[in-house]
Amino acid sequence: MYTREGKMKAVFAFYLSCLLSFSYALSSNKIGINYGRLGDNLPSPYQSIELLTSMKVGHVKLYDANPEVLKLLSGTNLHVSIMVPNEQISAIASNQTQADQWVDQNVLAYYPTTKIRFVLVGNEVFSTNDLKLWLDLVPAMKNIKTSLTGHNVHNIKVGTPLAMDVLESTFPPSSGKFRSDIPIQVILSLMKFLNGTKSFFFIDAYTYFAWSDNPTNISLDSALLKDGNVTYVDTESGLNYTNLLDQMLDSVHFAMGKLGFDNVRIAISETGWPHAGDIDQTGANAYNAETYIRNLVRKVTSYPPIGTPAKPGIEIPTFIFSLYDENQKPGAGTERHWGLLNNNGRPIYEVDLTGTSPVNNDTHLTESINNNKPYKGKIWCVVASDASLAELEPALDFACRQGNGTCDELAPGKGCYEPVSVVDHASYAFSSYWAKFRSDGASCYFNGLAVQTITDPSKSWIMPIPKCVDLKMVLWILLLES
Ligand SMILES: *[C@@H]1O[C@H](CO)[C@@H](O)[C@H](O)[C@H]1NC(C)=O
Ligand SMILES: *[C@@H]1O[C@H](CO)[C@@H](O)[C@H](O)[C@H]1NC(C)=O
Ligand SMILES: *[C@@H]1O[C@H](CO)[C@@H](O)[C@H](O)[C@H]1NC(C)=O
Ligand SMILES: *[C@@H]1O[C@H](CO)[C@@H](O)[C@H](O)[C@H]1NC(C)=O
Ligand SMILES: *[C@@H]1O[C@H](CO)[C@@H](O)[C@H](O)[C@H]1NC(C)=O
Ligand SMILES: *[C@@H]1O[C@H](CO)[C@@H](O)[C@H](O)[C@H]1NC(C)=O
Ligand SMILES: *[C@@H]1O[C@H](CO)[C@@H](O)[C@H](O)[C@H]1NC(C)=O
């Protein structure tokens, strides 16, 4: 119910209610999209907004309050969500004047011609380990709200998107519970604020991550929202689940309920499925991505709303992640492949964001890439063939600075010292680093300088390789056999 806030107070409420619920059915439960811009090859903001409009998106979420984008959005019918960056939270929390200035510059300068509807304060704040930031979050949200109210702006809600790691227990859904290392007073004041301002609990909910962490025990169909069969019965609550997203959302519902906040609604600030990724990233393919997005859109745009087993009939505002593939995102291969569109603005797979295409119109893609089971062979992490020499040296330094003996073998006199070349040393260091820190979340990427390969580098003439590979480097051969 994005669009209705505050309007029902009027004396005309009863008279208008038919009209309102009608227009709400038509416009409010449209899908939202995250417009992330971490790419150096993306269509311009102007083209992007045209694309969003032509895709019949209802809502767009920005990761900042970019003046050019906000100006271009004025006069469109797109509802807009803007973000206060994490770095500005503490200043805004400690000083109402700073909050007022932020609102002046980033909201009032564009509102109401730009239909700003949400100000999201920070991004996944409790996934950082910055305790001061945690403590400053709600005071900052309150100061922003105070500024808005002071200017008589009542149809902009203030929220904060959190990751699923805000819960320490998510399964079964009825066991949902907030993390105990986050001070309970912080969670309680957040909940009180959201409840008191009738805002949403924004959650980034990716069935992809839950499933790909444990593809043997979790059904892919339930992660792809192929509803139809009960896939899990929560014996504690007696609720039957047909998909993994409902389970994740209900774990949040149960966590909030345990603190007495049963009626705070959830919005999904990010969800999606990567259409490509690294060799060791199970299930990242366009077929799954198309299937997930289609099923998601159908589910969250249904009218009347479906809700979840614990909260049936409740609308769940949802933002797909993401509009584009963003080539400047670091990390594993999937990070750069969440887009609905490629960098020419063309769809990577076909998707109807209005959710009105018939249920039985199957995906257009065939299951050509079948990586739905974990890759069982060996994977090597080597210097990419197009890596620039100038960039390799700092990357090599970085890998070696991570310690834990990553580069011990590269010291003069040690087994991999020869041949003494940046490329050879970097190939060793990347593999060694990845092998050591992979379980802590390290990836084989190094800003595009490193790639995974299933071709044994010691047998390939394309890859630059240190001679020590096949002789001594047991380390850099990652065995993914389970
Ligand atoms: C609050 O911020 C304003 C504007 O930046 C500044 O002039 C003022 O000194 C600050 N007040 C405090 C108490 O820090
Ligand atoms: C939530 O807000 C409602 C008013 O909208 C209030 O009646 C209720 O007591 C609040 N719940 C809590 C736990 O504060
Ligand atoms: C999968 O389920 C089996 C049987 O219930 C269990 O023994 C195993 O630990 C589970 N694996 C993971 C990765 O959770
Ligand atoms: C439901 O289960 C049946 C029998 O196991 C299976 O044939 C069917 O494909 C399933 N439907 C869905 C949507 O998963
Ligand atoms: C859940 O499914 C079981 C059968 O699998 C059924 O007996 C039960 O009534 C269902 N519960 C609810 C709440 O729908
Ligand atoms: C179903 O998909 C096909 C493409 O495979 C498309 O041509 C057709 O228009 C779609 N049907 C409907 C009713 O959307
Ligand atoms: C790196 O070394 C530290 C300290 O010796 C140790 O606690 C940590 O587990 C090591 N990490 C890895 C990935 O080996």
Range of the domain at 274: 4-336
Q: State which H helix or E strand residue 149 sits in.
A: helix 131-150
Regarding whether 238 and 152 lie in a shared domain, the answer is yes
315 is catalytic: no
Regarding whether 292 and 173 lie in a shared domain, the answer is yes
**Proximal ligand: closest to the CA of 241:** 5
Regarding whether 279 and 203 lie in a shared domain, the answer is yes
Note whether residue 132 is domain-resident.
yes
Catalytic residue from among 5, 124, 350, 391: 124
Do residues 88 and 99 lie in contact, with contact meaning Cβ atoms separated by under 8 Å? Answer: no
| Atom 6 of ligand 6, residue of closest alpha carbon | 361
Query: Is the Cβ atom of 110 under 6 angstroms away from ligand 2?
Result: no
Q: DSSP letter string over 418-443? A: -S--HHHHHHHHHHHHHHHHGGGT--
- 267 CA distance to ligand 6 middle (Å): 30
Sign of CA dihedral 415, 421, 424, 429: positive
Among the atoms of ligand 1, which is closest to the Cα of residue 98?
A: 2
Q: Is 25 helix (H, G, I), strand (E, B) or coil?
A: helix
Domain count, the chain: 2
- HSE-up of 208 (CA within 13 Å, CB side)? 29
Domain end marker among 336, 353, 371: 336
Regarding whether 442 and 298 lie in a shared domain, the answer is no
- 362 CA distance to ligand 6 middle (Å): 9
Regarding whether 385 and 327 lie in a shared domain, the answer is no
Among the atoms of ligand 5, which is closest to the Cα of residue 239?
A: 13
Do residues 324 and 39 lie in contact, with contact meaning Cβ atoms separated by under 8 Å? Answer: yes
CATH classification at residue 196: 3.20.20.80
Regarding whether 432 and 306 lie in a shared domain, the answer is no
Regarding whether 314 and 261 lie in a shared domain, the answer is yes
Domain end marker among 282, 302, 336: 336
Among the atoms of ligand 2, which is closest to the Cα of residue 260?
A: 13
The pTM of this model reads: 0.85
**Proximal ligand: closest to the CA of 260:** 2
What are the CA-CA distances from residue 181 to residues 167, 178, 203, 205, 270 (Å)? Answer: 10, 9, 19, 21, 24
- 196 CA distance to ligand 2 middle (Å): 6
Note whether residue 350 is domain-resident.
no
| Atom 3 of ligand 5, residue of closest alpha carbon | 240
User: pLDDT tens track of the chain, all 482 residues?
Assistant: 222 223 223 333 333 333 333 333 344 568 999 999 999 999 999 999 999 999 999 999 999 999 999 999 998 999 999 999 999 999 999 999 999 999 999 999 999 999 999 999 999 999 999 999 999 999 999 999 999 999 999 999 999 999 999 999 999 999 999 999 999 999 999 999 999 999 999 999 999 999 999 999 999 999 999 987 888 999 999 999 999 999 999 999 999 999 999 999 999 999 999 999 998 899 999 999 999 999 999 999 999 999 999 999 999 999 999 999 999 998 889 999 999 999 999 999 988 898 877 655 555 666 666 789 888 888 888 888 888 888 999 999 999 999 888 898 888 888 788 778 888 888 888 888 988 888 888 888 888 898 888 877 655 433 444 445 443 333 333 333 22
